Amino acid sequence: MNLDELVKEIHSHPGVTRKRLISEVINFFPNVSGGDVLASYGEDAAVLAFGDSVLLLAADGIMESLVKANPFFAGYYSVLVNINDISAMGGKPLAMVDVLSMKDEKVCGQVMKGMERAVRKFGVPVVGGHTHPDCHYNAIDIAILGTAERHAVIYSHTAEANDDIIFAMDLDGFFPEKLDFAWDTTSKKDDELCRKQMLVMSEIGKRHLVHAGKDMSNPGSIGTLGMLLETSEKGGSVDIDLIPRPKGVDFVQFVKSYQGCGFVVTAKPEWSQKVIDLFAGVGVTGSVVGKVDASAKLVLKQGAEEKTLFDFSKEIITGCKPHHAPKNDCLRCAD
């Protein structure tokens, strides 16, 4: 593996580069403070106080290219990506609402069949939404509501220097037709196992075993780690030889791919094995791949060689740095 080539591949990956516009959106909206908002930008879901618990609120729109390439999986992933956003926060998904825009009835039918498959598999209902029956385009967007115990929420912005970096992925998967960067680990898998995987981060959060975490989304595994480090205003290093990978799959393609069930978390070294064991219990392979540090750089290593992938003192992925957000009060000693 040539590190220079890997750095170029990830740095120019559309899953990474298209995130940069997020900063412009954040800076456009007025900063309206609210006592019930515990966390917002930079997290996989907004965290809203609700008594001793929290509500988790997120939304995702599916890229037009995915709808065109494979409308069934566009519908399926519209559900899955939202579920993963709630799961990554240590939450339990409750329900979804959708916005379905239709130009072609056949495409719409395939999108809806994909959504139906995912709803049945994960047991999270669509309870309302909006339909545009007379559009000049096909699109599917979903918002989701979840819940978690207030002291068990897993945030993205709370990684700490000297934490282990853990990559956890289900290696039992495949790339669907025409989807070269979507590693599918759920559509053909047992429903019960998928639901257990959906809640594994909730168990990790309840045991206070990690400082920070995110689900591995369109930027891929290493790109998602970059987002977490940027949001936490930290740096880190990753030994690429330690990253879990399936046999017979191109490594660069795999690390650039959306993971059907994949998470990056940071934890104290003495907690790491407990975290890895919990992932293993639901068929997810975890490995310590590196360390968090205070450098504001994400460095990739292989043997004696190392290359800087992101330097957050000079560049952004999303521009989200919620250092002024409330401190996560759930960071206690692991039980």
Could you give phi then psi for residue 222, rounded to 5 degrees?
-70, -40
User: If DSSP states are collapsed to H, E and C, what string results for 213-263?
Assistant: EEECCCCHHHHHHHHHHHHHCCEEEEEHHHCCCCCCCCHHHHHCCEECCEE
Q: Please give the structure tokens belonging to residue 327.
A: 């401190």
Q: Is the pTM of this model over 0.85?
A: yes
- Please write the tens of the pLDDT for every residue from 69-98: 999 999 999 999 999 999 999 999 999 999
Please report the domains of the chain, with CATH numbers, ordered by start residue: 3-18+155-311 (3.90.650.10), 34-149 (3.30.1330.10)
Helix (H, G, I), strand (E, B) or coil at 94: strand
Q: What is the spatial distance between Cα 193 and Cα 220, in angstroms, rounded to a whole number?
A: 23
- Chain segment 233-290, per-residue pLDDT in tens: 999 999 999 999 999 999 999 999 999 999 999 999 999 999 999 999 999 999 999 9
Q: What is the mean pLDDT of residues 298-305?
A: 96
- Between 330 and 78, where is the model more confident? 78
Q: Which amino acid is present at 327?
A: K
For residue 322, what pLDDT is reported? 74
- What average pLDDT does the chain have? 92
* Helical packing angle, 3-11 and 220-232, nearest 10°: 70
Tell me the three state secondary structure of residue 164. Answer: strand
Q: Closest by alpha carbon to 42, among 198, 229, 195, 192?
A: 229
What's residue 25's pLDDT? 72
Report the Cα–Cα distance between both ends of the chain, in Å, rounded.
39
